[in-house]
Structure 1
Protein backbone atom coordinates (compact mmCIF):
# COMPACT_ATOMS: atom_id res chain seq x y z
CA UNK A 1 0.00 0.00 0.00
CA UNK A 2 2.92 2.37 0.72
CA UNK A 3 4.33 1.78 -2.78
CA UNK A 4 0.89 2.45 -4.25
CA UNK A 5 0.64 5.68 -2.23
CA UNK A 6 3.93 6.84 -3.71
CA UNK A 7 2.68 6.12 -7.21
CA UNK A 8 -0.52 8.08 -6.50
CA UNK A 9 1.56 11.02 -5.27
CA UNK A 10 3.55 10.99 -8.52
CA UNK A 11 0.30 10.75 -10.49
CA UNK A 12 -1.06 13.75 -8.61
CA UNK A 13 1.99 15.78 -9.57
CA UNK A 14 1.57 14.81 -13.22
CA UNK A 15 -2.10 15.83 -13.20
CA UNK A 16 -1.24 19.23 -11.74
CA UNK A 17 1.09 19.87 -14.66
CA UNK A 18 -1.77 19.55 -17.13
CA UNK A 19 -3.72 22.58 -18.31
CA UNK A 20 -7.04 23.31 -16.59
CA UNK A 21 -9.20 22.08 -19.52
CA UNK A 22 -7.07 18.93 -19.88
CA UNK A 23 -7.37 18.16 -16.17
CA UNK A 24 -11.14 18.59 -16.28
CA UNK A 25 -11.43 16.27 -19.29
CA UNK A 26 -9.22 13.61 -17.70
CA UNK A 27 -10.87 13.77 -14.27
CA UNK A 28 -14.35 13.64 -15.78
CA UNK A 29 -13.40 10.52 -17.74
CA UNK A 30 -11.96 8.92 -14.59
CA UNK A 31 -15.11 9.69 -12.64
CA UNK A 32 -17.39 8.36 -15.38
CA UNK A 33 -15.50 5.08 -15.81
CA UNK A 34 -15.16 4.45 -12.08
CA UNK A 35 -18.87 5.19 -11.59
CA UNK A 36 -19.56 2.39 -14.07
CA UNK A 37 -17.47 -0.09 -12.07
CA UNK A 38 -18.99 1.11 -8.79
CA UNK A 39 -22.45 0.48 -10.22
CA UNK A 40 -21.48 -3.04 -11.29
CA UNK A 41 -19.97 -3.79 -7.87
CA UNK A 42 -23.09 -2.60 -6.01
CA UNK A 43 -25.19 -4.73 -8.35
CA UNK A 44 -23.05 -7.73 -7.38
CA UNK A 45 -23.84 -6.93 -3.70
CA UNK A 46 -20.20 -6.50 -2.69
CA UNK A 47 -18.27 -3.88 -0.72
CA UNK A 48 -15.05 -2.27 -2.04
CA UNK A 49 -12.96 -4.80 -0.08
CA UNK A 50 -14.69 -7.67 -1.90
CA UNK A 51 -16.84 -8.84 1.01
CA UNK A 52 -20.53 -9.49 0.41
CA UNK A 53 -23.21 -7.14 1.70
CA UNK A 54 -25.01 -8.22 4.85
CA UNK A 55 -28.22 -9.81 3.52
CA UNK A 56 -31.66 -8.53 4.40
CA UNK A 57 -33.23 -9.93 7.51
CA UNK A 58 -35.50 -12.84 6.70
CA UNK A 59 -39.20 -12.14 7.11
CA UNK A 60 -42.05 -14.51 7.59
CA UNK A 61 -44.01 -14.78 4.35
CA UNK A 62 -47.17 -12.66 4.66
CA UNK A 63 -50.53 -14.37 4.35
CA UNK A 64 -52.51 -13.09 1.35
CA UNK A 65 -56.02 -11.80 1.78
CA UNK A 66 -58.49 -14.43 0.58
CA UNK A 67 -61.01 -11.85 -0.57
CA UNK A 68 -61.08 -8.84 -2.87
CA UNK A 69 -60.83 -5.29 -1.54
CA UNK A 70 -61.90 -2.04 -3.13
CA UNK A 71 -60.73 1.46 -2.27
CA UNK A 72 -60.11 4.96 -3.55
CA UNK A 73 -56.45 5.96 -3.92
CA UNK A 74 -54.70 8.23 -3.15
CA UNK A 75 -56.09 10.52 -0.48
CA UNK A 76 -56.62 14.03 -1.82
CA UNK A 77 -56.50 15.14 -5.42
CA UNK A 78 -58.33 12.86 -7.87
CA UNK A 79 -58.31 9.34 -6.43
CA UNK A 80 -59.02 6.37 -8.69
CA UNK A 81 -60.99 3.26 -7.88
CA UNK A 82 -58.83 0.21 -7.14
CA UNK A 83 -60.15 -3.36 -7.05
CA UNK A 84 -57.44 -5.63 -5.68
CA UNK A 85 -57.37 -9.43 -5.57
CA UNK A 86 -54.98 -11.82 -3.79
CA UNK A 87 -53.28 -9.14 -1.72
CA UNK A 88 -50.86 -8.83 1.20
CA UNK A 89 -50.36 -6.05 3.74
CA UNK A 90 -46.68 -5.78 4.61
CA UNK A 91 -45.15 -2.78 6.36
CA UNK A 92 -46.49 0.47 4.88
CA UNK A 93 -47.69 -1.19 1.65
CA UNK A 94 -50.61 -3.22 0.39
CA UNK A 95 -49.55 -5.25 -2.64
CA UNK A 96 -51.69 -7.41 -4.88
CA UNK A 97 -53.29 -7.90 -8.29
CA UNK A 98 -54.80 -4.60 -9.46
CA UNK A 99 -57.66 -5.70 -11.72
CA UNK A 100 -57.86 -2.43 -13.67
CA UNK A 101 -54.08 -2.22 -14.21
CA UNK A 102 -53.93 -5.92 -15.05
CA UNK A 103 -50.86 -6.60 -12.93
CA UNK A 104 -49.21 -6.49 -9.52
CA UNK A 105 -49.25 -3.05 -7.92
CA UNK A 106 -48.34 -1.63 -4.50
CA UNK A 107 -50.07 1.20 -2.62
CA UNK A 108 -49.27 2.98 0.63
CA UNK A 109 -51.80 1.81 3.23
CA UNK A 110 -52.01 5.17 4.98
CA UNK A 111 -52.70 6.99 1.69
CA UNK A 112 -55.88 5.06 0.93
CA UNK A 113 -58.68 7.62 0.78
CA UNK A 114 -61.66 5.37 1.52
CA UNK A 115 -62.54 1.68 1.66
CA UNK A 116 -65.56 0.64 -0.40
CA UNK A 117 -67.89 -2.39 -0.25
CA UNK A 118 -67.16 -5.16 -2.77
CA UNK A 119 -70.07 -6.59 -4.75
CA UNK A 120 -70.46 -10.36 -5.03
CA UNK A 121 -69.71 -10.37 -8.76
CA UNK A 122 -66.54 -8.38 -8.09
CA UNK A 123 -65.40 -10.96 -5.54
CA UNK A 124 -65.55 -13.57 -8.28
CA UNK A 125 -64.25 -11.37 -11.07
CA UNK A 126 -61.51 -13.14 -13.00
CA UNK A 127 -57.98 -11.95 -12.34
CA UNK A 128 -54.49 -13.30 -12.09
CA UNK A 129 -53.15 -14.48 -8.77
CA UNK A 130 -50.50 -12.72 -6.75
CA UNK A 131 -47.78 -15.31 -6.20
CA UNK A 132 -45.17 -13.57 -4.11
CA UNK A 133 -42.67 -16.43 -3.69
CA UNK A 134 -40.19 -13.96 -2.25
CA UNK A 135 -39.40 -12.50 -5.66
CA UNK A 136 -39.52 -8.87 -4.55
CA UNK A 137 -37.17 -9.33 -1.62
CA UNK A 138 -34.89 -11.77 -3.44
CA UNK A 139 -33.88 -9.15 -5.95
CA UNK A 140 -30.57 -7.38 -5.39
CA UNK A 141 -30.60 -4.48 -2.96
CA UNK A 142 -30.07 -0.87 -4.04
CA UNK A 143 -31.45 -1.34 -7.57
CA UNK A 144 -32.81 2.20 -7.67
CA UNK A 145 -29.93 3.78 -5.78
CA UNK A 146 -27.38 2.66 -8.35
CA UNK A 147 -29.21 3.96 -11.42
CA UNK A 148 -27.84 6.90 -13.37
CA UNK A 149 -30.27 9.40 -11.88
CA UNK A 150 -29.15 8.73 -8.31
CA UNK A 151 -25.50 7.65 -8.58
CA UNK A 152 -23.77 10.56 -10.29
CA UNK A 153 -20.25 11.49 -11.32
CA UNK A 154 -18.59 14.69 -12.48
CA UNK A 155 -15.37 16.66 -12.18
CA UNK A 156 -13.85 20.12 -12.06
CA UNK A 157 -10.27 20.97 -12.99
CA UNK A 158 -9.14 20.10 -9.45
CA UNK A 159 -11.21 17.07 -8.41
CA UNK A 160 -13.37 14.20 -9.57
CA UNK A 161 -16.31 12.91 -7.56
CA UNK A 162 -18.76 10.02 -7.52
CA UNK A 163 -21.75 10.12 -5.19
CA UNK A 164 -25.47 10.03 -4.63
CA UNK A 165 -27.81 12.98 -5.03
CA UNK A 166 -30.94 14.19 -3.24
CA UNK A 167 -32.93 11.80 -1.09
CA UNK A 168 -30.81 8.94 -2.45
CA UNK A 169 -27.79 10.43 -0.67
CA UNK A 170 -29.61 10.28 2.67
CA UNK A 171 -30.65 6.66 2.15
CA UNK A 172 -27.20 5.64 0.95
CA UNK A 173 -25.58 7.35 3.93
CA UNK A 174 -27.65 5.27 6.34
CA UNK A 175 -26.41 2.03 4.74
CA UNK A 176 -22.87 3.27 4.12
CA UNK A 177 -22.29 3.96 7.82
CA UNK A 178 -24.80 1.55 9.39
CA UNK A 179 -26.97 4.27 10.91
CA UNK A 180 -30.47 4.33 12.39
CA UNK A 181 -33.47 5.39 10.34
CA UNK A 182 -37.24 4.91 10.15
CA UNK A 183 -38.36 2.53 7.37
CA UNK A 184 -41.70 4.40 7.28
CA UNK A 185 -42.83 7.81 8.51
CA UNK A 186 -44.64 6.30 11.51
CA UNK A 187 -42.38 3.27 11.89
CA UNK A 188 -39.99 2.52 14.73
CA UNK A 189 -36.32 3.49 14.28
CA UNK A 190 -34.24 0.63 12.91
CA UNK A 191 -30.46 0.28 12.90
CA UNK A 192 -29.35 -0.88 9.47
CA UNK A 193 -26.39 -3.12 8.81
CA UNK A 194 -23.34 -1.37 7.43
CA UNK A 195 -23.17 -1.91 3.68
CA UNK A 196 -20.36 0.11 2.11
CA UNK A 197 -21.72 1.34 -1.20
CA UNK A 198 -18.96 3.74 -2.22
CA UNK A 199 -15.21 3.29 -1.97
CA UNK A 200 -12.33 2.74 -4.37
CA UNK A 201 -11.15 -0.80 -5.00
CA UNK A 202 -7.48 -1.56 -5.85
CA UNK A 203 -8.60 -2.29 -9.42
CA UNK A 204 -10.24 1.13 -9.70
CA UNK A 205 -7.13 2.85 -8.36
CA UNK A 206 -5.06 1.06 -11.00
CA UNK A 207 -7.61 2.00 -13.66
CA UNK A 208 -7.34 5.68 -12.73
CA UNK A 209 -3.55 5.51 -13.10
CA UNK A 210 -3.88 3.76 -16.46
CA UNK A 211 -6.19 6.52 -17.69
CA UNK A 212 -3.65 9.14 -16.58
CA UNK A 213 -0.78 7.41 -18.36
CA UNK A 214 -2.87 6.94 -21.52
CA UNK A 215 -3.74 10.64 -21.46
CA UNK A 216 -0.11 11.75 -21.03
CA UNK A 217 1.26 9.36 -23.67
CA UNK A 218 -1.39 10.47 -26.16
CA UNK A 219 -0.33 14.11 -25.94
Structure 2
Protein backbone atom coordinates (compact mmCIF):
# COMPACT_ATOMS: atom_id res chain seq x y z
CA UNK A 1 0.00 0.00 0.00
CA UNK A 2 1.37 3.37 -0.93
CA UNK A 3 1.77 6.14 1.61
CA UNK A 4 -0.83 8.15 -0.37
CA UNK A 5 -3.38 5.40 0.32
CA UNK A 6 -2.57 5.52 4.03
CA UNK A 7 -2.93 9.31 4.00
CA UNK A 8 -6.34 9.04 2.31
CA UNK A 9 -7.44 6.49 4.90
CA UNK A 10 -6.21 8.77 7.70
CA UNK A 11 -8.00 11.81 6.20
CA UNK A 12 -11.21 9.81 5.93
CA UNK A 13 -11.02 8.42 9.47
CA UNK A 14 -9.85 11.49 11.40
CA UNK A 15 -13.24 13.26 11.65
CA UNK A 16 -15.01 10.01 12.57
CA UNK A 17 -12.51 9.13 15.30
CA UNK A 18 -12.46 12.66 16.71
CA UNK A 19 -16.01 12.11 17.96
CA UNK A 20 -15.00 9.14 20.10
CA UNK A 21 -13.84 9.33 23.71
CA UNK A 22 -10.24 8.30 24.50
CA UNK A 23 -11.23 4.91 25.97
CA UNK A 24 -13.37 4.16 22.90
CA UNK A 25 -10.50 5.05 20.56
CA UNK A 26 -8.17 2.80 22.56
CA UNK A 27 -10.62 -0.11 22.37
CA UNK A 28 -11.08 0.44 18.63
CA UNK A 29 -7.31 0.58 18.12
CA UNK A 30 -6.92 -2.67 20.04
CA UNK A 31 -9.60 -4.39 17.93
CA UNK A 32 -8.05 -3.19 14.67
CA UNK A 33 -4.53 -4.16 15.78
CA UNK A 34 -5.65 -7.63 16.86
CA UNK A 35 -7.39 -8.16 13.53
CA UNK A 36 -4.33 -6.95 11.62
CA UNK A 37 -2.06 -9.23 13.66
CA UNK A 38 -4.29 -12.17 12.76
CA UNK A 39 -4.16 -11.35 9.04
CA UNK A 40 -0.37 -10.79 9.13
CA UNK A 41 0.07 -14.11 10.94
CA UNK A 42 -1.98 -15.95 8.33
CA UNK A 43 -0.09 -14.30 5.47
CA UNK A 44 3.28 -15.20 7.04
CA UNK A 45 2.00 -18.75 7.53
CA UNK A 46 1.10 -18.96 3.84
CA UNK A 47 4.65 -17.69 3.02
CA UNK A 48 3.53 -14.70 0.90
CA UNK A 49 4.54 -11.04 0.69
CA UNK A 50 1.81 -8.36 1.01
CA UNK A 51 1.68 -8.05 -2.80
CA UNK A 52 0.81 -11.76 -3.07
CA UNK A 53 4.17 -13.00 -4.34
CA UNK A 54 5.64 -16.03 -2.53
CA UNK A 55 8.59 -15.71 -0.17
CA UNK A 56 11.98 -16.60 -1.61
CA UNK A 57 12.64 -20.17 -0.44
CA UNK A 58 15.45 -20.57 2.04
CA UNK A 59 18.64 -22.39 1.30
CA UNK A 60 19.79 -25.40 3.25
CA UNK A 61 22.80 -25.12 5.50
CA UNK A 62 23.55 -28.82 4.98
CA UNK A 63 24.25 -28.85 1.25
CA UNK A 64 25.11 -25.86 -0.90
CA UNK A 65 22.21 -24.69 -3.08
CA UNK A 66 19.59 -27.12 -1.77
CA UNK A 67 16.25 -25.53 -0.95
CA UNK A 68 14.48 -26.59 2.23
CA UNK A 69 10.72 -27.04 2.05
CA UNK A 70 9.76 -26.71 5.73
CA UNK A 71 7.88 -23.60 6.85
CA UNK A 72 9.81 -20.49 7.74
CA UNK A 73 8.92 -18.21 10.64
CA UNK A 74 6.77 -20.77 12.49
CA UNK A 75 7.64 -19.35 15.92
CA UNK A 76 8.03 -15.69 15.02
CA UNK A 77 4.41 -15.42 13.89
CA UNK A 78 3.01 -16.44 17.29
CA UNK A 79 1.41 -13.87 19.61
CA UNK A 80 4.44 -14.11 21.88
CA UNK A 81 6.61 -12.44 19.23
CA UNK A 82 4.15 -10.70 16.86
CA UNK A 83 2.65 -8.20 19.26
CA UNK A 84 0.16 -5.39 19.27
CA UNK A 85 0.29 -2.11 21.12
CA UNK A 86 -2.60 0.33 21.23
CA UNK A 87 -3.30 3.79 22.58
CA UNK A 88 -6.07 6.33 22.02
CA UNK A 89 -3.96 7.80 19.20
CA UNK A 90 -3.02 4.66 17.29
CA UNK A 91 -2.13 1.02 17.16
CA UNK A 92 1.06 -0.86 16.32
CA UNK A 93 1.55 -4.41 15.12
CA UNK A 94 5.15 -5.54 15.06
CA UNK A 95 8.05 -7.43 16.48
CA UNK A 96 9.83 -6.16 19.59
CA UNK A 97 13.09 -7.04 21.31
CA UNK A 98 15.58 -9.55 19.90
CA UNK A 99 13.02 -10.91 17.45
CA UNK A 100 12.73 -7.43 15.89
CA UNK A 101 16.31 -7.61 14.60
CA UNK A 102 15.66 -11.02 13.04
CA UNK A 103 12.47 -9.76 11.42
CA UNK A 104 14.20 -6.59 10.18
CA UNK A 105 16.95 -8.68 8.56
CA UNK A 106 14.36 -10.63 6.57
CA UNK A 107 12.03 -7.67 5.93
CA UNK A 108 14.74 -5.63 4.21
CA UNK A 109 17.06 -8.39 3.00
CA UNK A 110 20.05 -7.40 5.16
CA UNK A 111 23.28 -9.23 5.99
CA UNK A 112 23.55 -11.14 9.27
CA UNK A 113 25.32 -14.10 10.81
CA UNK A 114 23.70 -17.51 10.49
CA UNK A 115 25.01 -18.46 13.93
CA UNK A 116 27.01 -16.62 16.59
CA UNK A 117 30.42 -17.28 15.02
CA UNK A 118 29.15 -18.35 11.61
CA UNK A 119 29.55 -16.70 8.24
CA UNK A 120 27.76 -13.47 7.32
CA UNK A 121 25.00 -14.13 4.81
CA UNK A 122 22.80 -11.80 2.77
CA UNK A 123 19.23 -12.85 3.40
CA UNK A 124 16.53 -12.65 0.74
CA UNK A 125 13.95 -9.91 1.18
CA UNK A 126 10.78 -11.38 2.68
CA UNK A 127 8.18 -8.81 3.74
CA UNK A 128 6.91 -10.16 7.04
CA UNK A 129 4.80 -7.09 7.79
CA UNK A 130 3.01 -4.89 5.32
CA UNK A 131 -0.36 -3.66 4.16
CA UNK A 132 -2.20 -5.35 1.35
CA UNK A 133 -5.41 -4.13 -0.25
CA UNK A 134 -7.29 -6.72 1.80
CA UNK A 135 -5.74 -5.33 5.01
CA UNK A 136 -6.80 -1.79 4.12
CA UNK A 137 -10.33 -3.02 3.48
CA UNK A 138 -10.26 -5.03 6.72
CA UNK A 139 -9.29 -1.92 8.72
CA UNK A 140 -11.97 0.28 7.19
CA UNK A 141 -14.63 -2.44 7.61
CA UNK A 142 -13.61 -3.01 11.24
CA UNK A 143 -13.83 0.69 12.02
CA UNK A 144 -17.20 1.04 10.30
CA UNK A 145 -18.54 -2.01 12.18
CA UNK A 146 -17.33 -0.53 15.47
CA UNK A 147 -18.87 2.86 14.75
CA UNK A 148 -22.11 1.23 13.59
CA UNK A 149 -22.56 -0.70 16.84
Bin for the TM-score computed over the shorter chain: 0.7 to 0.9
What is the CA-CA distance between 1:214 and the residue it aligns to?
A: 1.3
CA distance in 2, matches of 1:49, 1:150: 23
2:132 maps to which residue? 201
**Structure of greater relative contact order (alpha carbons < 8 Å, 6+ residues apart):** 2
Q: 1:184 to 1:3 in 2, by over 3 A?
A: closer
Calculate the TM-score normalised by the size of structure 1.
0.61
**Could you list the runs of 5+ residues in structure 1 that have no partner in the other structure?**
63-133
Which structure has the greater CA radius of gyration? 1
More helix by share: 2
2:13 to 11, 26, 39: 11
Give the 3-state SS of the residue equivalent to 1:138 in structure 2.
Answer: coil
Q: Is the 8 A contact 1:32 1:154 kept in 2?
A: no
State the TM-score, normalizing by the size of structure 2.
Answer: 0.88
Off by >3 Å, runs of 4+ in structure 1: 1-8, 58-62
Q: Find the counterpart in structure 1 of residue 44 from structure 2.
A: 42
> Matched residue pairs, number?
145
Q: Is the 8 A contact 1:46 1:53 kept in 2?
A: yes
Alignment equivalent of 2:31, drawn from 29, 32, 45: 29
More strand by share: 1
Name the Cα RMSD after superposition: 2.1
Q: Which runs of 5+ in 2 are unaligned?
A: none
